[in-house]
Structure 1
């Protein structure tokens, strides 16, 4: 969330329950696997060309394949996402959002602090509802330097192993809004080189552990609060990112159209990558302009083929970001969400 309005985080849920395994069908597409990650993936399919023995023995020893996230990376339709109070530990707020929006969200975002275990039950709850879990992983309890140097490897490996064990797709955004100055991993206490080194180190460990179920999200804040901070130095590279998760809110002041809020940031990013955009966090501040802001968000996202959806921050904290902050706002959101371009079955993208 942009520094200018919000400094809150959703409460972190309880520790996870037992994992539930679920395998997916293998489909064609692109990926951000490294060579080692690809080798892990192929071994999971029993396709190791160096393996010896009969075909029958290979088949009998074949493990469940990792869930193939590739069809989810650039779907034909757009994600309608939400971050909601208590979700996905409790789904009451998501169900209320769906009722008011007239459509179920298919992406559910929540926040996890560095040091927390991978919350398998929350990912499972999201999937059972019909949505992909989206974790904003916040390194409050360590430094980017320590992550990149390997001092946190035991924790990262345990986390990655839990991802692989659950075997469900999950989007992970590490160190979001890194181009801002309001977080410990931001520009006041860390460098762009330290961020990219930490991000890539985490990704590489996940590949080493065969945790290829992750959709990797790189989430800068929109650039207007800090126009002199260039984004390219923070870019880990196309091999390390699946979604560019731009974060930007419609506030009472500042840019108030899709073009002015997101346009400069997206244009800058298109100078170094063609990866699909997703608006990783957004909402509109309560007030007379909110219905117009909601319409701007939907229409702007619908008009761009390279934007695959958004996540609405549906909280009443410091200001009422919820879609039902006023009757006209709720009515407008429901009308816009009826667009068939938004929402799809994540199990059959």
Structure 2
């Protein structure tokens, strides 16, 4: 070998390859090219017709798919951009519409505020006019009452056209004292602030009660909403107003020194009483007030045998409260109800069952509009119980008629226990007596629709006073109402049907 690098060139004519020049080789070249093309086409066909897991086909797909996927993504992106532009345009239109609605709402609120201010001014003017009229009427009524005449003057109502919320229609004071029909009332747990139980009883009896009874202590201001809600329901408000704390922790004891009769007589509660009377005048609707019920017993702070009270102080207390109301013009709206406990349930040994004892608590005709009583069917505590109207009410009714002849009588708090299984019979006896014209001076019955558990002499009793305590009780009550209606000479109930 030469030590120099040399490039060897082979003459063309000497080669044997089919692509070499020459006529013969040109034919070979064309044939070779054709063969290559056919082979490539055959290979392609084999690749695409082969199974999907073929190595060659997979390799080709790995190259082709990213390219196709990239094109799809570009297309999707373009579509999303188009939708975004469309959404922004729609949102812009909605925001413009919302701004327009807000502007309209603001304008409406402005008009509403202006109207409310006008309504308040008109209501205030109307209340002031009614208050003045009530005060003048009350002075006339009070003067007549102290002279021994019956209370008959009622405040003149304003003729100003009603504007805004309609004040519930209320009856006149005289219609409370001397009702045109016999009344049926209920004390329930929450009325007149909630009518659920009231409506349940009405549904059971197919008749709407006409009096809504409720309780309040002297540590609570006048509740105008209670009176208004009762009248709006179509029921007369009857407040049992107790000179004691409204707290549940103190109402179980008669020893509440702050509320002694002497303190009330000496003026300790005058500011409270004047405000209460003024609030009644401002509300302008009549109501019944049963002040310090069952005063002839000794289980409340106003009993003369309890809380340091002395004989004769109850009458002085009642007259003191009544006089304050007269001075403030409130007596033009108040039906004063004097309602002792049934006398035969008290101590005979201490003379508490005598008429003279009951008379010592009577404030006088000029200070009382209606008389009444609390009387229950309570078998565990009633000696010689006959489950009759006469046994429960008879003795006390006789004394009331003697003490206050001609005064309307209200069975102001009554009920019957299921103990002894005589409740239905007792209810029948009650309505049998009410159907007798001799008892037409009984103008109403107020039922204590509660369940109460109490302990007496170490024995605990649960009394279900409710009308709906049993089907028998409900049936007896409905039959009793029908019994009274069957006697045209009896003072009739005129209860509205349940709507």
- The higher radius of gyration belongs to 2
Match of 1:187 among 289, 304, 307: 304
1:68-147 aligned within 5 A: 68-141=172-245, 142-147=259-264
The aligned residue for residue 339 of structure 2 is 219
Task: Report the counterpart of residue 253 of structure 2 in structure 1.
Answer: none
Confirm or deny: 8 A CA contact 1:36 1:208 kept in the other structure. no
Query: Could you tell me which residue of structure 1 aligns to residue 434 of structure 2?
Result: 301
Matched, 1:157 2:274: yes
1:1-349 maps to which residues of 2 (within 5 A)?
33-35=141-143, 45=156, 68-141=172-245, 142-189=259-306, 190-211=309-330, 212-226=332-346, 227=348, 228-229=351-352, 230-253=357-380, 254=382, 255=385, 256-274=387-405, 275-287=407-419, 288-303=421-436, 304-318=439-453, 319-338=463-482, 339-340=484-485, 341-344=492-495
Give the CA deviation at 1:299.
2.3
Judge conservation of contact 1:33–1:239 (CA < 8 Å) in 2: no
Residues 43 and 280 of structure 1: is their aligned pair in 2 closer, same or farther, counting only changes over 3 Å? closer
Q: d(CA) in 2 for partners of 1:106 and 1:125?
A: 13
TM-score for the superposition, normalised by structure 1: 0.79
**TM-score, normalization: structure 2?**
0.56
1:71-110 residue CA offsets vs partner (Å, 9 max, x unmatched): 3212232110100111111111111111112211111111
Q: Aligned partners of 1:158 and 1:81: how far apart in 2?
A: 28
Q: Which 4+ stretches in 1 moved above 4 angstroms?
A: 18-23, 36-46
Contact 1:323/1:329, CA 8 A, preserved across alignment: yes
State how far apart, in whole Å, the 1-side matches of 2:154 and 2:418 are: 52
User: More helix per residue: 1 or 2?
Assistant: 2
Change beyond 3 A, Cα 1:210–1:41: farther
* Bigger mean CA offset, 187-196 vs 239-248: 187-196
CA distance in 1, matches of 2:237, 2:396: 25
Aligned partners of 2:239, 2:390: CA distance in 1, in Å? 27
- 1:222 touches 1:265 (CA, 8 Å); kept in 2? yes
Task: Confirm or deny: 8 A CA contact 1:69 1:213 kept in the other structure.
Answer: yes
Contact 2:373 2:412 in 1 (8 A): yes
| CA gap 1:45/1:299 in 2 versus in 1, 3 angstroms | same
Q: Secondary structure at the match of 1:85?
A: coil
Distance of aligned partners of 1:35 and 1:95 in 2 relative to their CA distance in 1, 3 Å threshold:
same
Deviation string, structure 1 residues 195-226 (Cα, Å, up to 9, x no partner)? 11111111111111111110000010000122
Instruction: Give the Å deviation of 1:269.
Output: 2.2
CA distance in 1, matches of 2:154, 2:468: 49
The number of equivalent residue pairs is: 304
Unaligned runs of 5+ in 2: 1-122, 135-139, 161-169, 246-258, 454-462, 486-491
Could you tell me whether the CA contact under 8 Å between 1:104 and 1:343 is conserved in 2? no
